[in-house]
Structure 1
Amino acid sequence: MTTVPEHGLPQRGFAETEYEDRTRSTQSAMLVSKLDAILLTTEPEIRYFTGFHTQFFESPTRPWFVIVPLSGKPIAVIPGLGLAGMQATWIDDVRTWQSPCPEDDGISLLADTLNALPARFGQLGLALGQESILRMPVRNSQILAERIALSFVDCAQLLLRQRFVKSSAEVEKIRTVCQLTSAEFEALPQHTAMGETERQIGQRMRMNLLARGADSTPFLVAGSGPGGYDNIIMGPNPPALGGR
């Protein structure tokens, strides 16, 4: 799951032991919270426990599921087009359905998988609370609740607490991306001139960040104007520096 470092950057991805540690730590918290399993539906959660990385999460039309049982490795229940990608991770148990299938988009397969798990406490954890979303149709979640023997329980805070504590490998990656971003901000005045637009400057900054080793810059805000900027969430915008 890791590759040779590029240009002195940390290895891409994480070692299998990283995912094993994350799973074991979460399962210990699940035991305390009396959860038989946790159902993951969003890209950050699924990637955190599996290492599965695909741009296809940009499409909202297909649900993806990963189950973290109280013991053992996670189980993936996913559309068939993700089979090869998930098999390239540390996950052994990958179950698929032919998607899209509006009449039953994985719900029967997911319910069967959950019902086959040992039910010690009768509770299934789902991220339902603050700072969480459920990445599946609401109606499908209702159907799932009707078809399984487990009751839904919010585990949003449990998952957040697990991710609060960073491993040394995570810290290394965070440090690296912060350093390369800081270096680009420091260099910004050297390739910025009055008369250029925020969009031109932002475009160049994105290109430079990619050249320094960043994977992407999904959140790049730009603001300028007499007296400073008036927000921290918009832009880059068309007006040129010094032109207002």
Structure 2
Amino acid sequence: MKLADKPAHLRKTLDAVMVKDDLDALVAMSPENFLHLAGVNVVSQRMIRERLAIVIYVKGRDPFLVISSIVANTVRRDSWVRDIVVWTEHQKTPVQTLGEELRSRGLDGGRIGLEMHYLAAAYHDELKGAVPNVNWEDCELLLNRSRMVKTPDEVELMRRNAIAAERAIWAGFMFAREGTTERQIADRMVTSLYEVGGDYSPFMSLAAGQHTREHHAVAGDYRIAAGDTVAVDMVGTFAGYYSDYARMAIVGEPSAVQSKAWRAVVEVQSQVMRDAVPGVTAETLAANANRYTRELGYELDINLVGHSLGIGLHEYPPLTMGCTEPLVEDMTMCIEILIQEPTLGRFHIEDLVAVGDPGGARRLTTYFDTSDLYRITL
């Protein structure tokens, strides 16, 4: 899905931020921010860190890219940025080429925002030597806030990805029967993720019975039995955008204790969704989730009750105590509630929502009816 509305949105919002912060340009090079700012998922950069793909937004001017010749054809085809400078691997470094371009474009002085958290120290030193008169400013928070806001096309892309990922989890639960192993169910879900259009699953945690007590449990050879809960937390990617959802099932019929615990996590999540409106801070949602959970007789098992989701998995802001960032309209974020029932283990739900409606966040993961535990046939 092409994000037709994103280039103009970026130009408008980033120009405004550069004027406000008195910056002449912004330089970013992580795979996540290159996808965000240039529209291309350079997959090989995640494995070959020295293959930097660099995007430069200049105040009041068109952006430009500095990329390896290895990925040049892909970038030319897919990026909305048309000014592309190519460097040849093993002949030049990407930072050497960036320095040359900054000098030739009159950007070898002034204040430039730099994505500090990704750039290796050696490259940072090389960059300072290449353009010694530039005052480099850390723009990590600026870029994080830029990625918080999704365009309508991005929200629709995230919604489609969410439904596809839910279908993959559903396929695994439908496949499962009493006696199926955890690993077999997890494998079926991951295979289904590919079948519905996912790129890959970088994280899959699936556990049954007492194994659910373990955070981020790895699926093993345990065979599910009557009365077991099955908990899954699966991450997928679709064209560089993440999906991240948690679901639970029961083998047969749930006990009263299991039903009560599941109703509790669903109710707490629903209340937090209603609270998630523009202007509310991340830590307010975390505090509310803790209070709602205690009112139902449980304790949250982790200090994170959600996070923004998009090109990154745990994007800014985290919904945790101490984070005072307010929610803004057109955010997409996961709301995640996890408790430990003392005798039975983990009860966990995670859904994607869009922020903006005055009555609360709008749920985008709508394939499952989560009001009750999914029943796995005996």
**TM bucket, shorter chain:** 0.7 to 0.9
CA contact (8 A) 1:34 1:121 kept: no
The AA in structure 1 aligned to 2:37 is: F
Query: Which structure has the highest helix share of the two?
Result: 1
Q: TM-score, length-normalised on structure 1?
A: 0.81
Deviations 1:21-47 (A, max 9, x none): 213211211111111111111111001
Q: Which sits farther off after the overlay, 162-171 or 178-187?
A: 178-187
- Aligned partner of 1:50 in structure 2 is 38
Structure 1: tracts of 5 or more residues without a match: 1-11
- Aligned partner of 2:166 in structure 1 is 182
- Aligned partner of 1:106 in structure 2 is 94
Shift of 1:76: 0.9
Separation in structure 2 between the aligned mates of residue 80 and residue 189 of structure 1, nearest angstrom: 45
Separation in structure 2 between the aligned mates of residue 227 and residue 218 of structure 1, nearest angstrom: 21
Higher-Rg member (1/2): 2
Shift of 1:77: 0.9
- Aligned partner of 1:81 in structure 2 is 70
CA contact (8 A) 2:26 2:57 kept: yes
- Aligned partner of 1:144 in structure 2 is 127
Classify the secondary structure of the residue corresponding to 1:218.
strand
CA contact (8 A) 2:182 2:224 kept: yes
2:160 matches 1:191: no
2:16 matches 1:28: yes
CA contact (8 A) 1:77 1:94 kept: yes
CA contact (8 A) 1:69 1:117 kept: no
CA contact (8 A) 2:51 2:94 kept: no
Separation in structure 1 between the aligned mates of residue 180 and residue 11 of structure 2, nearest angstrom: 49
Separation in structure 2 between the aligned mates of residue 236 and residue 34 of structure 1, nearest angstrom: 51
Q: Which runs of 4+ in 1 moved over 4 A?
A: 118-121
The AA in structure 2 aligned to 1:92 is: R
- Aligned partner of 2:26 in structure 1 is 38
CA contact (8 A) 2:38 2:81 kept: yes
Where in structure 2 are the equivalents of 1:76-225 lying within 5 Å? 76-88=65-77, 89-101=79-91, 104-119=92-107, 122-128=110-116, 132-134=117-119, 137-148=120-131, 149-225=133-209
The AA in structure 1 aligned to 2:118 is: I
Deviations 1:31-72 (A, max 9, x none): 111111111111110011111123212223422211111122
Classify the secondary structure of the residue corresponding to 1:181.
helix
Change beyond 3 A, Cα 1:119–1:94: closer
Classify the secondary structure of the residue corresponding to 2:207.
coil
Shift of 1:226: 1.9
Q: Which sits farther off after the overlay, 221-230 or 50-59?
A: 221-230
Classify the secondary structure of the residue corresponding to 1:172.
helix
Q: TM-score, length-normalised on structure 2?
A: 0.54
Shift of 1:153: 0.5
Separation in structure 2 between the aligned mates of residue 22 and residue 237 of structure 1, nearest angstrom: 45
Separation in structure 1 between the aligned mates of residue 6 and residue 36 of structure 2, nearest angstrom: 10
Alignment coverage as a number of residue pairs: 222
Q: Which sits farther off after the overlay, 174-183 or 186-195?
A: 186-195
Query: Which structure has the highest strand share of the two?
Result: 2
Shift of 1:182: 2.6
Q: Which sits farther off after the overlay, 65-74 or 34-43?
A: 65-74
Classify the secondary structure of the residue corresponding to 2:52.
coil
Shift of 1:105: 1.2
Deviations 1:155-174 (A, max 9, x none): 11111111111111111111
Separation in structure 2 between the aligned mates of residue 62 and residue 18 of structure 1, nearest angstrom: 25
Separation in structure 2 between the aligned mates of residue 145 and residue 206 of structure 1, nearest angstrom: 44
Separation in structure 2 between the aligned mates of residue 23 and residue 236 of structure 1, nearest angstrom: 45
Shift of 1:92: 1.7
CA contact (8 A) 2:102 2:108 kept: no
Shift of 1:118: 4.3
